[in-house]
Structure 1
């Protein structure tokens, strides 16, 4: 990767975006031909709208006609704007990584979809040389949604099918690379005799914490034996449900909140029996796959990216099916330990060569 100059551009440097860059590029300061330009992971909407202008002033000029430079950016960046503002970057090889797509992203009921975010991603994809998607679901849902999305344009519509065909030719699946530690140091951690459920997701509406809380309340009402750890990062606006959940579930809680120590986070995952997702959207599922690596049985919605990762037995179609599964495991927690799923195909060790080939061109 060091033979070419690589410019990394990340407008939302936090969470899984930061995790991927740290895994793939490691210590950038030790790579003489790699430079990284980032903005903090907050105010996502502002970063999507304005970061191109900011980065256009930060990235040094590239030698005219240079073909030895690769730009690696996430799709939060409006790549089309950046290249328009900085014509010297046009000759660079441009890789755009889609952690999510705004054509499929769920909205809160009171919101209307802002056309500009999805439109920016379409334009950026057309400007990029290669569009990389972290799951097949992410790629296909983006491409399939383009025609209906562009139909909302009142007149002067572009040929949507032509756009889809152009994007499909230069789109490919490249799974998110997980930096999975060896399990040797965690095998001695006991999962205990009482069902331990972990929910390790961002504290935001699209992860549907309300449904998860309702399931926990139902289990408590039935006086089922269980414990729960609520992990994951929270941002400026935390849904009110978390405050209520902490109050109601008090004695059932093992761990509460984001684990600053990765080691402690891994220990909590190792002590849990089941990892649950109630997500309204999931374009990959980093937290779920990490938990499975540490021996958790996954319970996830039947849809989104999950069918790519998990067998049918781990997927539920209704909330009542999720509750029924957890009810069963609360009575027989040892049954979860019989489940083994190899997630090594998502590991950096497995994916490293593929990433290096893409970056090297």
Structure 2
């Protein structure tokens, strides 16, 4: 089967997913994409550019697989002579209904944020099948549509939500976890526990709460070291600068690493992954750390409960923000051994999950075409 992936935001985790699927699928996959920047413009204009790309390529797929940043209705309208007969699936990496906005962005105050959520809604209507990377992503979108549509004056068409639910299913994110095996396996290292940050340096990961808690615990006299992975940028939250100064004596590494091998080595070297995120539709970085034996401390919400066996829920989750500091204090003082969850999250590795993608696509296309 021939599949055309349509990705207006070909960068970061979106690009890793698209290229990982292309590499590991048994099907022939051709990727049509645009650079991963200017996300608002991609949701508006990406459909026009990708419609032209597909037309110029003279490629005849059996399945169109778009992602949530595409205005799918516009794309299909521009290519109705080429795509009118094709099965169309939409893969949601995130959804704009549940995505928190930066406090520095003026769009929510002007109600312009509603437009991006409405693009998600109309794209879902235009697709024949909806795939979500997590159950949390699926439910936050479908459950959020009712209140969202009620905000409009009339002709809300909220009865269509049930039709969207009927064609939705969860297809977890595929990850190249085996690339992390290049580093030596975890060994017990003497000394204080190593606390890890391997998330984006952005407000929705709540770095202020994370670093302020570490600073308070350091002031209490708790002994720990710190590894902060990722790349800084000009408009990063100011807490990163403050934390680097205040916690300087505890820092083993700060910032970008040059290779995947170095990234993997720091994961294997770390002991604790405290997470304070306000948003995570899947949590690929958390899964990578868990695969390498890092003990996570996670909020019991978002997509995280989907990654943890119930037997370890008590050891991993905190339910209230005010409980985070107390839980982290105990973990730093006790330096617990790695939890045996590696095999659980290893099911997200492409070698394990690509066959699930392939069979889902085949079943969908056969049901749609009758072949």
Please confirm whether the aligned pair reaches a TM-score higher than 0.5, indicating the same fold: yes
Task: State how many pairs are aligned.
Answer: 351
1:169-221 CA-partner distances (Å, limit 9, x unpaired): 11110000122117485225554421101111111111111111111111111
Single out whichever of 244-253 and 77-86 deviates more from structure 2.
244-253
Question: Post-superposition shift, 1:154?
Answer: 1.8
Counterpart position of 2:74: 81
SS in 2 for 1:123: helix
1:306 pairs with 2:304: yes
Structure 2 gaps, min length 5: 366-371
Q: Judging changes above 3 Å, is the alpha-carbon distance between structure 1 residues 148 and 188 closer, same or farther for their aligned structure 2 residues?
A: closer
Counterpart position of 1:37: 32
Q: How does 1:129-140 map to 2 (within 5 A)?
A: 129-140=128-139
Question: Post-superposition shift, 1:358?
Answer: 2.5
Counterpart position of 1:24: 21
SS in 2 for 1:42: coil
Contact 1:227 1:252 in 2 (8 A): yes
**TM-score, length-normalised on structure 1?**
0.90
Structure 1 gaps, min length 5: none
Counterpart position of 1:107: 101
1:294-316 CA-partner distances (Å, limit 9, x unpaired): 00111111211111222243111
Q: How does 1:275-290 map to 2 (within 5 A)?
A: 275-290=273-288
1:50 pairs with 2:45: yes
Q: How does 1:188-337 map to 2 (within 5 A)?
A: 189-234=187-232, 237-310=235-308, 311-333=313-335, 335-337=336-338
> How far apart in 2 are the matches of 1:94 and 1:199?
38
SS in 1 for 2:247: helix
Counterpart position of 2:368: none
Contact 2:274 2:328 in 1 (8 A): no
> How far apart in 2 are the matches of 1:60 and 1:11?
16
Contact 2:295 2:339 in 1 (8 A): no
SS in 1 for 2:55: coil
Counterpart position of 1:120: 119
Q: CA RMSD in A?
A: 2.4
Q: Judging changes above 3 Å, is the alpha-carbon distance between structure 1 residues 236 and 71 closer, same or farther for their aligned structure 2 residues?
A: farther
Greater helix share, 1 or 2? 2
Question: Post-superposition shift, 1:118?
Answer: 0.6
> How far apart in 1 are the matches of 2:234 and 2:74?
28
Question: Post-superposition shift, 1:42?
Answer: 1.4
Contact 1:133 1:172 in 2 (8 A): yes
Single out whichever of 318-327 and 219-228 deviates more from structure 2.
318-327
Single out whichever of 335-344 and 199-208 deviates more from structure 2.
335-344
Counterpart position of 1:91: 85
> How far apart in 2 are the matches of 1:346 and 1:83?
31
Question: Post-superposition shift, 1:339?
Answer: 5.1
1:164 to 157, 161, 164: 161
1:53-90 CA-partner distances (Å, limit 9, x unpaired): 111221126989x7x52111210111111011111222
